[in-house]
Amino acid sequence: MRRFKVFKSLVRDSLDTITQGSRKYHLWMAALTFMMLVGMYCYSIQLDEGLSVTGMTDRVSWGLYISNFTFLVGVAAAAVMLVMPTYVLKDIDFKQAVLIGEGLAVAALVMCLAFVIADMGGPSVLWHMIPEIGVFNFPNSMLTWDVLVLNGYLFINITIPLYILFRHYQGKEAKSKVYIPGAFISVFWAVAIHLVTAFLYQGLQARPFWNNALLGPRFLASAFAAGPALIILVLAVIRSSTSFKIQDKTIKKIAMVVTVAAQINLIMLISELFKEFYAPTHHSESAYYLFFGLHGKDALLPWIWTAIPLNILATVILTFHKLRNNFKVLYFACFILFIAIWIEKGFGLIVPGFIPGPYGKIAEYIPTGIEIGVTLGIWALGAFVFTILAKTAIGIEIGKLRYKK
Amino acid sequence: MSSDNKKWFSLNIGRKNQETSSSCSCGKQSGGCGGHDHEEIKHIEERKDGFEQVFDVKMNRRSAFKQLAASLAIGAGAVSTSCSMFSDDESKEKAQIDWEEQFKGNYKLMTDEEKKATVDRLVRSYQLRTGKTISMSSKNAEENVLFGYAFNISKCQGYMDCVSACVEENNQDRNSQMQYIRIHEMKDGNGFNFNESDDNYYHEVPAEGHFYMGTQCFHCDNPPCVNVCPVQATWREDDGLVVVDYDWCVGCRYCMAACPYDGRRFNWSKPEVPEEEINKNQHYLGNRLRKKGVMEKCTFCVQRSRAGKNPACVEACPTGARIFGNLLDPNSTIRWVLENKKVFRLREDLGTEPKFWYFMD
Ligand code: SF4
Ligand code: SF4
């Protein structure tokens, strides 16, 4: 009963905090709301007319939505990079950052689910996918595995921070006995959401571009680069706009993680390129299309040739301690790395899988305005969710929000 | 369906024959015979049992859910009668049908009565909407039938009569010009080089120095598209047809990504067929009218093949390049082709075991 009362007061207090803030904060939230509304409008058109309003066709049947979904799974898994040292290895440095990381994971997962639903042809019969009520083709379909692990991960990432914040809200310490097992599970779980998402593509013998054993590991490496890079950027914003203290040491440690992951990612990229281009086979055509275009069709060239230099530049910058320890340079490197991986693991991965088609047909894919509108709307939704979560968490952590008996 | 001592899947055409006769009558296509095959049959039947167990439980839950849906429907009906002045019996019936259709289960798991019930609802609903009567079948696969198809590359001249016959027979969307069959025009002397082939030609055929080859869904015996579907909206029937329940599909398009043969088509917008062109002889799993956001594909014209007729493409082909029949019937033309011609299939390395063979005279 008491818990319930505390919880009610927590909800009320957090509602208070998220509706109050500086002018800048209100502007930010208003902008996000506007973008969400635009996204919803675009989605309503899509619902009405069908997926034909997107650039997808029978030849390229997944596009921007699934690209973003794939990438965001990686971002969601990144929270684990912070969880591990903090809870499990008892490294206090990350403690303040970890709640932010988990908030980010929740936001990313919300976006993932939104993207999957946006991509469905029949959202009104989505209940067919609910186990027990519908038919859940488990364990045959990797998509059902993905549904399970994503929802499980969402659950973990909501409950752990909620527990910790709930205790702190009442001015009590969170009991490590309670949350450490959860943290352990979430570490493995993060790896699982990644591998399973990679297996979604890796398991298709029809698409040689995806059907390679390196896909899973590369997913992990690129995710552990892009996710923490985003966390660094978010922490930078939080540091400058709230009184929440984040030590330089924390950011430097996360930067270390980003660096190692980016280096490994680059090594795997080289290995992949070597295989595709040293002894090109019939199966290398997708890679050829991606990097050089095929038969004069080259829609993806600008994308990939933005991503590769940015990726290399960021990795080089991060590799030198001098550069990495200069925060301005670090933020820049993180930003370009994030963009590079977004392109590479989104567009650069999904679209070439379909090109050329099974019988060599090259049909290009260009997203339409409506598709882009929905995508931006979903990103705004993610940012919105994250802002709300972070604002409450920070309020509790700096002691502004406390339960009054 | 692969047996334990095989390292990869292989199509076993003689399988069902083994059940009835203990002598070895299988042709070269069967993976083996004798005791080993008997084990395999048992294995299959055991799996059936397991499946049926799941199936029974599922049905119970589903009927509970259905009752819920029905009570909701009654509620909705009550609301609509009390609110609307114009509501009559017909619109109530329409609403009732819509509710039951929205919350019905997966066709694959339905009992025969349930299959009939949904077909009746669909026919009635069409009648209420348009005043026209269609006939829709829910005929199940027959015993000892496994459909297969052979394509004579030497005969095909690229007339594409099969394509238009298919579109007309199967009520495909006219707006997006959806076609199940693609005819690839290839240059002589280049072999089967799909990269340089053209599947979208608009000129007089046969073009000098070219040959033609048709592709469609191959009804793989080990179909990768079926495994990946998260809701089992697509499956392999006992007579080998790979079908889709259009009402159960959620439109994720995972099966499309998994098909190595470009066999699937998606309804990107609401499919439209002019009323006078609608083929009213339909099958639930075949050419009944689809809606937007669902997957569809060639079904070897299930509405025809299960009624003992040839698919529309076979019938339409002026050159006789297309051959269709029961692989388990030793006297069928298709068996004769498989046994007497040098047949091959596309991308056999993938282990999908298409039931669609190519051959040349
Ligand atoms: S050809 Fe494609 S759609 Fe047809 S059964 Fe094989 S994998 Fe499935
Ligand atoms: S599109 Fe439909 S049939 Fe294909 S995998 Fe998704 S739900 Fe299954």
Helices vs. strands in chain B: H and E counts, helices first: 10, 11
A30 touching B (Cβ < 8 Å) = no
Asked whether B218 lines ligand 1 (CB < 6 A), one says yes
pLDDT tens column, B81-124: 444 555 578 888 888 998 888 889 999 999 999 999 999 999 99
β-pairing, B182-187 with B210-215?
antiparallel
- The 3-class SS string of A281-332 reads CHHHHHHHHHHHCECCECCCHHHHHHHHHHHHHHHHHHHCHHHHHCHHHHHH
Q: What is the mean pLDDT of residues B316-323?
A: 95
Rounded to the nearest angstrom, the distance between the alpha carbon of B241 and the centre of ligand 1 is 10
pLDDT of residue B110: 92
The predicted structure's pLDDT at residue B82: 46
Q: Is residue A257 part of a domain?
A: yes
Residue A261 burial (CB < 10 Å; 0-12/13-18/19+)?
Answer: buried
Q: Residue B143 pLDDT > 60, yes or no?
A: yes
Domain assignment present for A251: yes
Specify the pLDDT at position B58: 42
Residues of chain A contacting residue B181, judged by C-beta atoms under 8 Å apart? none
Using CA positions, which residue lies closest to atom 4 of ligand 1? B217
Give the whole-angstrom CA distance, residue B188 versus residue B209. Answer: 5
Q: Which of A307, A294, A237, A364 is nearest to A71 (CA)?
A: A307
Checking ipTM against 0.85, whether it exceeds it is yes
In a domain, residue A382? The reply is yes
- Pick the residue with more confidence: A101 or B353? B353
pLDDT value of position A339: 95
Give distance in angstroms: CA of B155 to centre of ligand 1. 24
Decide: pTM greater than 0.90.
Answer: no
pLDDT in tens, A37-53: 999 999 999 999 999 99
Q: Which residues of chain A have pLDDT under 50?
A: none
Q: Is the CB of B222 under 6 A from ligand 1?
A: no
Average pLDDT, chain B: 82
Residues in chain A with CB shorter than 8 Å from the CB of B351 are: 205
Give the tens place of pLDDT for each residue, B168-218. 999 999 999 999 999 999 999 888 888 888 888 888 888 999 999 999 999
- Burial group, residue A244, by CB count within 10 angstroms (0-12, 13-18, 19+): middle
Mutate to test the pocket of ligand 1, among B215, B217, B262 (most ligand atoms within 8 A of CB): B217
List chain B domain ranges.
Answer: 62-137, 147-359
Residue scoring higher pLDDT (A50 or B63): A50
For B261, name the nearest residue in chain A, comparing CA atoms only.
A358
CATH topology of domain B147-359: Alpha-Beta Plaits (3.30.70)
Ligand 1 pocket check: which of B220, B348, B358 to mutate, most ligand atoms within 8 Å of Cβ?
A: B220
**Are the CB atoms for B322 and B356 separated by under 8 Å?**
no
Amino acid residing at A400: K
CATH number, domain containing residue A50: 1.20.1630.10
High-pLDDT (> 90) share of chain B, %: 63
Dump pLDDT digits (tens) for A320-343: 988 888 999 999 999 999 999 999
pLDDT given at position A33: 97
Tell whether the model's pLDDT for residue B78 goes beyond 80.
no
Grade residue B24 by pLDDT with cuts at 50, 70 and 90. very low
DSSP per-residue codes, B10-28: ---TTHHHHHH--S----T
Is the C-beta atom of B217 inside 6 A of ligand 1? yes
**Structure tokens of B120?**
């009746």
Do the domain assignments include residue A50?
yes
A69 touches chain B (CB under 8 A): no
A chain contacts of residue B267, beta-carbon cutoff 8 Å: 50, 121
Residues A330, A318: Cα–Cα separation, whole Å:
7
Q: Which residues of B touch A200 (CB under 8 A)?
A: 254
Total structural domains in chain A?
Answer: 1
For A268, half-sphere exposure in the C-beta direction (CA atoms, 13 angstrom radius) is 18
- pLDDT value at B42 more than 80: no
Q: Domain limits at A163?
A: 2-397
Find out whether A356 and A304 touch, Cβ atoms under 8 Å: no
C-alpha to C-alpha distance for A337 and A269, rounded to whole angstroms: 14
Quick check: A132 contacting B, CB < 8 Å? yes
Enter the DSSP assignment of A346.
T
Largest CA distance in chain A: 73
A162 exposed, middle or buried (CB, 10 Å; 0-12, 13-18, 19+)?
middle
Examine residue A403 and state whether it is found in any structural domain, yes or no.
Answer: no
Is A51 in Cβ contact with B249 (below 8 Å)? no
Which residue in chain B is spatially nearest to A119 when comparing CA positions?
B252
A278 — contact with chain B (CB < 8 Å)? no
Which residue of chain A is at minimal alpha-carbon distance from B235?
A137
Q: Is A120 on the interface with B (CB under 8 A)?
A: yes
A65 part of a folded domain: yes
CB < 8 Å from B in window 279-298 of A = 285
Model pLDDT, residue B321: 95
Q: For residue B224, how far is its CA from the centre of ligand 1 (angstroms)?
A: 7
pLDDT (0 to 100) of residue B196: 82
> Per the structure block, which two tokens stand in for B164?
């238009």
Distance B294 CA to ligand 2 centre (A): 7
Identify all chain A residues contacting B106, using CB atoms and an 8 Å cutoff. Answer: 128, 134-135
- Distance separating alpha carbons of residues A24 and B26, to the nearest angstrom: 78
